[in-house]
Structure 1
Amino acid sequence: MSGVIVTGPPRADARDIEALAGYGVATVSEAMGRKGLVGPELRPIQQGVRIAGSAVTVLSWPGDNLMIHAAVEQCGEGDVLVVTTTSPSTDGMFGELFATALQRRGVRGLVIEAGIRDTQELREMGFAAWAKAVSAQGTVKATGGSVNIPVVVGGQCVRPGDIILADDDGVVVVPRERVRETAEASGAREAKEAEARAEFQEGRLGLDRYKLRGKLADLGVRYASYEEYAGETGA
């Protein structure tokens, strides 16, 4: 497998990325029209951590982390390393030594559609990671691959420079051209949710706030007392 290492991909404005970082994965995905979510197979190795940054992408051979070494050189302040393989893999391709090198370069975290190891050490050093598997199985450095090309991770296309937002709920990908508008839409959605939260705290029901009683009726859902239901069904 030959490959390419692309240098200097386009990036979103840092101020727009920071604005987007204030919102959760669920909010951002909803603000984009329920798009961008990476599959639920990628789970965080820590809790209570949220990151947002520009994607540096890696396409590797399964069980081979050579291209992750190549990608470190392309990473900088505020980036998120995104790794996938040419076919499914759960080998532990990334660990504490990689994290040490990336942390030194200001990288905010890792999203990997493969295995990760040294998870205790990663948590202790504060390096955030989302992975498909935790595995102590080691890897080799023998096959070429690519860095900073479009890749597919969890069913989502990730281009170099797209924004990765990750938290306890998972990972969402925001196209680099849509960062500002997505941040604005996320803010509007959060304001709307704040209004709903205040009403729920006062005791209002979602059935009434969202005018769902009519929908229930339109769908043929009716109310019946227990006695009525028992008489009809013999329950």
Structure 2
Amino acid sequence: MIEEPKSLRIGPDVGRRPSPAQVAAFQGVPTGFVVDAMSGAGAMAHQIAPLTSEMPAVAGPALTADNRPSDLLATLGALRSIQEGDVLIASAQGWQGCAAAGDRVCGMARNSGAAALVTDGPVRDLAGIVEVGLPVWCTGLNPGSPFATGPGQIGVRVVVGGQPVETGDMVVADSDGVVVVPFAQLDAVIARLPEIARMEGELDTEVRDGLRLPDPIAEILDGERTEVL
């Protein structure tokens, strides 16, 4: 006989957050720079996109909510644990059959201090979400209503858009998508960001000045690594 599960479980790391200085280091940094600083890692699948083209860029600590498909009890329960500036990561286990959240959930998240909502499901109430003003990254729109019966978990490891996310990881989201920086890698990634920005700036200048082919690619084309058939 299966034991009746608890409606909600709260993980031990629900209060873990980066330092204010670590959070500040990611403000205004493009997602592409963050991915490059992690050697190409961290990006969620392209299906998780900004709800509208007007969504502002956001960077903040993750607070995770692990929901069963078609349910949002964990998302609602996580509202009590939101700290100012958190990005609420609402896992729907990829379920597309109904909304993972709507304008009222987004409104309550905004009232609780959340900076954004990221989910691997669709959302509903587009006009209401826009009015609330909470930036949302999701898989699209679906007017179907979810349940709030659980079971669900708060502050535990989830996988959203192919990326593992734990509470306290940094989430950076902009018009290109969503990137996750693991808590243990924050300082290493922060240390690389200035060099990434410098290299990107130099290449931008070269392109504006007429660059047609990067030197490393020219070396490959002209060297032994290229075979002409």
Q: Which residue of 2 aligns with 1:79?
A: 86
Match of residue 160 from structure 1? 167
- Per-residue deviation at 1:181? 2.5
Q: CA deviation at 1:191?
A: 0.9
Q: Given that residues 93 and 160 in structure 2 are in contact (C-alpha distance below 8 angstroms), is that contact kept between their aligned partners in structure 1?
A: no
2:42 to 36, 39, 60: 36
**Percentage of matched positions with identical amino acids:** 25
Give the TM-score of the pair, scaled to structure 2.
0.89
The residue number in structure 2 matching 1:11 is: 17
**Matching residue within 216, 222, 225 for 1:211:** 216
Shift, 1:64, TM fit: 1.4
- Kept in 2, the 8 Å contact 1:65–1:93? The answer is yes
The structure having more radius of gyration, on CA atoms, is 1
- Backbone CA RMSD of aligned residues: 1.8
AA in 1 matched with 2:116: G
The question of whether the paired residues in 1 share the 8 Å contact of 2:101 and 2:123 is answered with: yes
Q: Name the TM-score, length of structure 1 as normaliser.
A: 0.87
Q: 1:120 aligns with which of 108, 127, 135?
A: 127
Deviation of 1:220 (Å) = 2.6
Listed one character per residue, the Cα deviations across residues 123-168 of structure 1 (whole Å, up to 9, x for unaligned) are: 2332100112310001112221100000111111101111111111
Distance in 1, matches of 2:94 and 2:204, equals 44
- The unaligned stretches of length 5 or more in structure 2 are none
* Mapped partners of 1:176, 1:41: distance in 2: 24
The code of the aligned residue for 1:81 comes to L
Equivalenced residue count is 220
Determine helix, strand or coil for the equivalent of 2:122: strand
1: CA distance, partners of 2:84 / 2:226: 53
Q: Secondary structure at the match of 2:138?
A: strand
Correspondence for 1:229: none
3-state SS in 2 of match to 1:215 = helix
Question: Which of 183, 187, 199 is matched with 1:192 structurally?
Answer: 199
Cα 1:221–1:13 change in 2 (3 A) is farther
Q: Counterpart of 1:111 in structure 2: which amino acid?
A: V
When residues 155 and 90 of structure 1 are mapped into structure 2, their CA distance, relative to the original with a 3 A threshold, is: same
How far has the Cα of 1:216 moved from its partner? Answer: 1.4
Instruction: Report the CA distance between 1:86 and its aligned residue.
Output: 4.4
Provide, for residues 29-52 of structure 1, a one-character-per-residue CA deviation record: whole Å limited to 9, x for no partner: 111110011111101112251101
Shift of 1:87: 6.0
Choose 171-180 or 119-128, whichever is displaced more: 119-128
